[in-house]
């Protein structure tokens, strides 16, 4: 029996309770969690913005140590440190065959399976495949990636979502070039990873935008060279900071229609806006045909940073070992399992960066 955070129904409070995990069968791995990040996607699952089979053990950003492996698992062994991969690629669907593994047709197929049971026998699903809000989990072998050498195990949890998403948004989706100006909307865990990644790319200026003035120090430590408190004049403020032209690239990490529209308005003619934030179906963004022609801007979505974790993790590990990317700078709070609801409240209020559940 291990402790876990369970979502029984949309909008219900998380229940911290004991669950029974099966021993890993063929192609499965049991992992003892060292840490799990509290991502905005977990909040979106909790409130129904995103839907998964319920009841479920939430949590998808985690790292830990292999406890045992099932038959046929050879790439990790008991005692190995691993990073959980919530969106594993199948390698055979049309998206995977053209190299767009982040769009794999069956990436979330495992979320429909039965993951564990409560003491009374209630069947539980693994939230986004991995069920990381638990002391231990059992996952498919392709959901675990070997921890690169020299990366701290606890902070490595952030590699499972925030860092891959932020780094990929800059280097894969937006393809930021050295010397380009970048504006980042939303200074949460992903936004902080975007800021560090923009710094690595050699961007400048790098402008952070958030509703909270208290986040300025956090943003500047991550690489922001300027900070704007969001207001009705944000787009004008960005143009003022970029010589009157607007930013070359905007990365939106909030997922709200007004923020997406402001990000678009903040870019120069021919600029690029990459949307990382996950919004609800009621968030409608509108444009008129003439402005699309006149401005020549590009608006694109971004899933998991358009990353291939197997290829990107070694690259990120090298940045971490060299001191160019600081994982701990994303973490503003270290909590226990029962601190997750408060971390959700902080997200809704726009406070802090990443909360990290440490086991």
Of 18-27, 109-118, 161-170, give the lowest mean pLDDT range: 109-118
What does the pLDDT read at residue 97?
96
Tell me the CB-side half-sphere exposure of residue 171, using CA atoms within 13 A: 20
Pair of tokens at residue 221: 């430590």
Burial of 293 (0-12, 13-18, 19+ CB in 10 A): exposed
The mean pLDDT value of the chain amounts to: 95
Question: Region 236-253: what's the mean pLDDT?
Answer: 97
Cα(351)–Cα(126) distance, integer angstroms: 28
Question: Region 148-161: what's the mean pLDDT?
Answer: 94
Other Cβ atoms closer than 10 A to 77: 12
Question: Region 216-242: what's the mean pLDDT?
Answer: 97
Nearest in space to 80 (alpha carbons), one of 66, 61, 95: 66
pLDDT tier for residue 334 given thresholds of 50, 70 and 90:
very high
Could you give phi then psi for residue 58, rounded to 5 degrees?
-75, 180
- The dihedral region occupied by 243, where left means phi > 0, alpha psi between -120 and 50, and beta the remainder, is left
- What structural domains does the chain harbor? 2-160+326-358 (3.90.180.10), 166-302 (3.40.50.720)
Predicted confidence (pLDDT) per residue in 65-117, tens digit = 999 999 999 999 999 999 999 999 999 999 999 999 999 999 988 888 899 99
Question: Region 249-265: what's the mean pLDDT?
Answer: 97
Q: Which residues contact 102 (CB under 8 A, 6 or more apart)?
A: 87, 89, 168, 303, 304, 305, 306, 307, 308
Cα(236)–Cα(239) distance, integer angstroms: 5
pLDDT above 90: percentage of residues in the chain: 89
Cα(108)–Cα(101) distance, integer angstroms: 12
pLDDT tier for residue 348 given thresholds of 50, 70 and 90:
confident
Cα(40)–Cα(343) distance, integer angstroms: 10
pLDDT tier for residue 177 given thresholds of 50, 70 and 90:
very high
């Amino acid at each position: 029996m291990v402790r876990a955070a369970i979502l029984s129904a949309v909008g219900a409070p998380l229940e911290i309770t004991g669950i029974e995990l099966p021993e890993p069968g063929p192609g499965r791995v049991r992992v003892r969690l060292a840490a799990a990040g509290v991502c905005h996607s977990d909040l979106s699952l909790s409130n129904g913005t995103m839907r998964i089979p319920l009841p479920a053990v939430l949590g998808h950003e985690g790292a830990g140590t292999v406890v045992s492996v099932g038959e046929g698992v050879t790439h990790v062994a008991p005692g190995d440190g691993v990073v959980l991969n919530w969106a594993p690629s199948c390698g055979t669907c049309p998206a995977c065959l053209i190299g767009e593994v982040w769009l794999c047709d069956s990436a979330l197929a495992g979320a429909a399976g039965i993951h564990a049971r409560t003491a009374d026998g209630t069947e539980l699903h693994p939230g986004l495949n991995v069920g990381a809000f638990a002391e231990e989990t059992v996952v498919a072998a392709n959901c675990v990636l070997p921890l690169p050498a020299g990366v701290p195990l606890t902070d490595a949890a952030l590699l499972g979502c925030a860092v891959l998403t932020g780094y990929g948004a800059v280097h894969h989706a937006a393809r930021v070039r050295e010397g380009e100006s970048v504006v980042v909307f939303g200074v949460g865990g992903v936004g902080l990873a975007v800021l560090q990644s923009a710094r690595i790319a050699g961007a400048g200026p790098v402008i952070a935008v958030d509703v909270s003035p208290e986040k300025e120090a956090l943003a500047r430590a991550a690489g922001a060279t300027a900070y704007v408190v969001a207001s009705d004049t944000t787009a004008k403020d960005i143009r003022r900071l970029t010589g009157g032209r607007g930013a070359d690239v905007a990365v939106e990490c909030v997922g709200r229609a007004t923020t997406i529209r402001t990000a678009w308005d903040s870019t120069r003619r021919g600029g690029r806006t990459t949307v990382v934030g996950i919004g609800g179906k009621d968030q409608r963004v509108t444009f008129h045909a003439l402005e699309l022609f006149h401005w020549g801007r590009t608006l694109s979505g971004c899933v998991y940073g358009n990353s291939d974790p197997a290829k990107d993790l070694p690259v990120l590990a090298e940045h971490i070992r060299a001191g160019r990317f600081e994982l701990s700078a994303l973490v503003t709070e270290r909590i226990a399992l029962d601190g997750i609801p408060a971390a959700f409240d902080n997200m809704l209020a726009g406070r802090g960066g990443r909360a990290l559940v440490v086991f």
